[in-house]
C-alpha cells in the first residue's frame, strides 16, 4: 500500500502535526515504506490463530467502585497555560 502526498497531508492534519508542504513527499515515502514492511507480515498464514494481546497470560486488572482519587483541582490546573476560576481557559470553541 502506498501513501500519496494528499493522504500524508490529511494524516498530519488529523494528528494535528504541522508538516511543511515541502516535507510531505519525503513523509509520504517513509510512511509507504513502513506500510510495505508491515504488509510482509500478511504473508504469514495465521488462519485459526487467536490474536495475541499479551506476552504473559494476564487478566485485565480491575478496580473496585470506590472514590480513591481526585480532589486536587490545583494540581490538575497547575500546568495549564491559562486557568480561571477553576476551569481550563482555552480559545473559544463553539459550534
Partner 1 sequence: MLDHLAFEPPKPKVIAGAKADWELVIGLEVHAQVSSNAKLFSGASTTFGAEPNSNVAFVDAAMPGMLPVINEYCVAQAVRTGLGLKAEINLRSAFDRKNYFYPDLPQGYQISQLYHPIVGEGEIIVDMGPGVARRVRIERIHLEQDAGKSIHDMDPHMSFVDLNRTGVALMEIVSRPDIRGPEEAAAYVGKLRQILRYLGTCDGNMQNGNLRADVNVSICKPGAYEKYQETGDFSHLGTRCEIKNMNSMRFIQAAIEYEARRQIAIVEDGGEVVQETRLYDPDKNETRSMRSKEEAHDYRYFPCPDLLPLEIEQAWVDDIAATMPELPDEKKARFVGDFGLSEYDASVLTAEVENADYFEGVVAVCADGKGAANWVINELFGRLKKEGHEIGESPVSPEQLGGIVKLIKSGDISGKIAKDLFEIVYTEGGDPAEIVEARGMKQVTDTGAIEKAVDEVIAGNPAQVEKAKQNPKLAGWFVGQVMKATGGKANPSAVDALVKEKLGL
Residues that bind partner 1 (CB under 8 A): 10, 14, 16, 53-54, 58-73, 75-77, 82, 84-95
For partner 1, the closer of residues 44 and 62 by Cβ is 62
For partner 1, the closer of residues 20 and 92 by Cβ is 92
CB 33 to partner 1: min, Å: 20
Asked whether 78 and 86 are in contact (CB, 8 A), the reply is: no
Asked whether 82 and 89 are in contact (CB, 8 A), the reply is: yes
CB 26 to partner 1: min, Å: 22
Determine which helix (DSSP H) or strand (DSSP E) holds 84, and give its type and residue range. strand 83-84
CB 12 to partner 1: min, Å: 13
Distance CA 52, CA 65 (A): 29
Asked whether 32 and 63 are in contact (CB, 8 A), the reply is: no
Amino acid at each position: 500500500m502506498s501513501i500519496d502526498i494528499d493522504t500524508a497531508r490529511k494524516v498530519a492534519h488529523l494528528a494535528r502535526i504541522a508538516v511543511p508542504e515541502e516535507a510531505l513527499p519525503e513523509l509520504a515515502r517513509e510512511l509507504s515504506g513502513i506500510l510495505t514492511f508491515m504488509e510482509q507480515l500478511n504473508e504469514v498464514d495465521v488462519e485459526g490463530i487467536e490474536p495475541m494481546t499479551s506476552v504473559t497470560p494476564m487478566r485485565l486488572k480491575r478496580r473496585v467502585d470506590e472514590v480513591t482519587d481526585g480532589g486536587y483541582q490545583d494540581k490538575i490546573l497547575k500546568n495549564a497555560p491559562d486557568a480561571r476560576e477553576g476551569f481550563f481557559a482555552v480559545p473559544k470553541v463553539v459550534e
